[in-house]
Amino acid sequence: MPVIEKIRSHSSSETFETGRNLGLKARPGDLFALYGDLGTGKTVLAKGIARGLGISEEITSPTFTLLEIYENILPFYHFDLYRIDNPRELDALYFEEYWEGDGVSVVEWADRAAGRLPETALRITLEYLEESIRSITIERPDN
């Protein structure tokens, strides 16, 4: 049974700070699987995680490249699977090699990973509640 934490964010800066706190606690091999509709704050959360890892450069969503790598003490692998239409497209990309490595991975649109994410992934669901209010649900595996 996963451990579930619910957070209500009232601004993008609060969402960023939630991500930063997650990044501060991240360890090699951690994978953050982000779920949510367009505009719910997945990229803002990813930017916060990167900042918590000590990455100061600007983080952008790799919608067209699918993956951006940021070298640091812990490498940061930022995936955006928005453009994946068919799970077979992932076969040629070998993303699992990054997920199983010594860095920290964030996967936006994780629902498009076709069940390939490890059971150890932290599932983070962002939901739109109001103009600037989001619900952030963090599910940590029980292992």
pLDDT tens digits, one per residue of 45-99: 999 999 999 999 888 877 667 889 899 989 999 999 998 887 777 777 778 888 8
- Is there a contact between 28 and 102 (Cβ–Cβ < 8 Å)? yes
Those residues whose C-beta lies under 8 Å from the C-beta of residue 59, and which sit 6 or more positions away, are 43, 46, 47, 50, 68, 70, 78
Nearest Cα neighbor of 74 from 46, 110, 100, 101 is 101
CA distance 106 to 108: 6
pLDDT at 36: 96
Domain at 12-113: CATH code: 3.40.50.300
Closest CA to 95 of 113, 112, 108: 113
- pTM, two decimals, is 0.92
Mean pLDDT of the region 11-21: 97
| Region 105-128 average pLDDT | 92
- The label of the residue with tokens 């649900």 reads 137
Q: Would you list the domain boundaries of the chain?
A: 12-113
Average pLDDT, the chain: 90
Q: Which residue has the higher pLDDT, 64 or 21?
A: 21
